[in-house]
């Protein structure tokens, strides 16, 4: 039996919670063509993730594309977010190790890296007050300046490995009122999820064009007989390709 192709997502809470947003959109676009496998772990940095044997020992068959997205936690400030902070050079090393594991396990190793997104300072401080009340420190445990360093490091790793990188930090930060993409300065609002989904789909189109799904021009549906994807065929014939008087013809052995 042929195993349906898989799109593997590795990351932190921005990935774990993404079925409510950007990876839900991904699953919609690739329905019947590929299963989106979400292996995001909230609160994890690259150091934690490399110790996650339940992921690395998993037998994932027919992975055609992997999305690697770490840095939001690694970039926590060492004095105020010691639990999450990973030094910059160690972050680079860990990203390389994660990518090496993927490149060994999956062939061809189609991989897209995503940089950590920007941090919205005002929202982050407001969230702190809302959550902790009088115990709020009024100090940022993550900053734009610190996260930018990790976004640049992610880009450098991608360049060294000759892999595509979606620079979400710059894409979001360059938008007017980029705070609309977040609900607490770090995690995405509905608009943020939409932004990520559209940016990732564009990256797939740019770097792995044969994997881009073209929707039906009349219905805009991603998976009916009018849709098309060069490298990923739909599993099972579409209903309008089945002759109800001779059903077996549409299901060759």
Average pLDDT over residues 22-32: 97
235 lies in some domain: no
Q: Which two tokens stand for residue 133?
A: 């009340």
What confidence tier does 105 reach under pLDDT thresholds 50, 70, 90? Answer: confident
Q: 13 catalytic, yes or no?
A: yes
Assigned domain for 206 exists:
yes
Give the residue numbers spanning the domain of 205: 6-212
Rounded to the nearest 5 degrees, what angle is found at the Cα of 61, between the Cα atoms of 59 and 64?
130
Examine residue 81 and state whether it is found in any structural domain, yes or no. Answer: yes
pLDDT exceeds 70 at position 4: yes
Whether 224 is in a domain gets the answer: no
Is the model's pLDDT at 68 over the cut of 90? yes
CATH code at 15?
3.40.50.1110
Total-model pTM: 0.93
Rounded distance between C-alpha atoms, residue 173 and residue 160, angstroms: 24
Question: Is residue 241 in a domain?
Answer: no
- Please tell me the predicted confidence (pLDDT) of residue 1: 52
pLDDT exceeds 60 at position 22: yes
Could you tell me the CA-to-CA distances from 42 to 78, 187, 230 in Å, in that order?
A: 19, 11, 34
Tens of pLDDT, residue by residue over 28-63, are 999 999 999 999 999 999 999 999 998 888 878 899
Which tens digits make up the pLDDT trace of 218-246?
999 998 888 999 999 888 888 888 888 88
Q: Number of folded domains in the chain?
A: 1
**What is the average pLDDT value for the chain, to the nearest integer?**
93
Structure confidence at residue 35 (pLDDT): 96
200-225 average pLDDT score? 94
Q: Which has more pLDDT, 134 or 67?
A: 67
pLDDT of 15 over the 80 cut: yes
Q: Does the residue 170 lie in any domain?
A: yes
In this structure, what token pair is assigned to residue 190?
């509905």
> Is 1 a member of any domain?
no
> Residue 69 pairs with which residues in a beta bridge?
11, 114
Token representation of residue 173: 């930060």
Q: Is residue 223 part of a domain?
A: no
Task: Give CA–CA dist 157/140, Å, rounded.
Answer: 27
Q: Catalytic pick from 13, 42, 174, 227?
A: 13
């Amino acid at each position: 039996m042929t195993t349906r192709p898989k799109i593997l997502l590795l990351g932190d809470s921005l990935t774990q919670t993404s079925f409510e947003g950007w990876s839900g959109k991904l699953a919609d676009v690739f329905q019947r063509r590929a299963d989106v496998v979400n292996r995001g772990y909230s609160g994890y940095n690259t150091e934690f993730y490399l110790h996650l044997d339940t992921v690395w020992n998993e037998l994932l068959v027919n992975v055609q594309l992997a999305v690697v997205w770490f840095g939001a936690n690694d970039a926590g400030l060492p004095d105020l977010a010691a639990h999450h902070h990973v030094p910059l050079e160690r972050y680079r090393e860990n990203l390389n190790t994660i990518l090496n594991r993927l490149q060994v396990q999956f062939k061809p190793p189609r991989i897209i890296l995503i940089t950590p997104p920007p941090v919205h300072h005002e929202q982050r401080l407001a969230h702190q007050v809302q959550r902790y009340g009088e115990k709020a420190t009024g100090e940022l445990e993550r900053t734009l300046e610190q996260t930018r360093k990790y976004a640049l490091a992610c880009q450098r790793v991608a360049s060294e490995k000759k892999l595509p990188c979606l620079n979400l930090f710059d894409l979001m930060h360059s938008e007017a009122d980029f705070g609309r993409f977040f609900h607490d300065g770090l995690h995405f609002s509905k608009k943020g999820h939409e932004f990520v989904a559209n940016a990732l789909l564009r990256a797939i189109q740019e770097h792995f064009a044969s994997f881009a799904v073209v929707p039906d021009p009349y219905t805009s549906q991603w998976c009916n007989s009018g849709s098309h994807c060069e490298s990923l065929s739909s599993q099972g014939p579409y209903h309008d390709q089945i002759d109800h008087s001779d059903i077996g013809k549409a299901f060759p052995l």
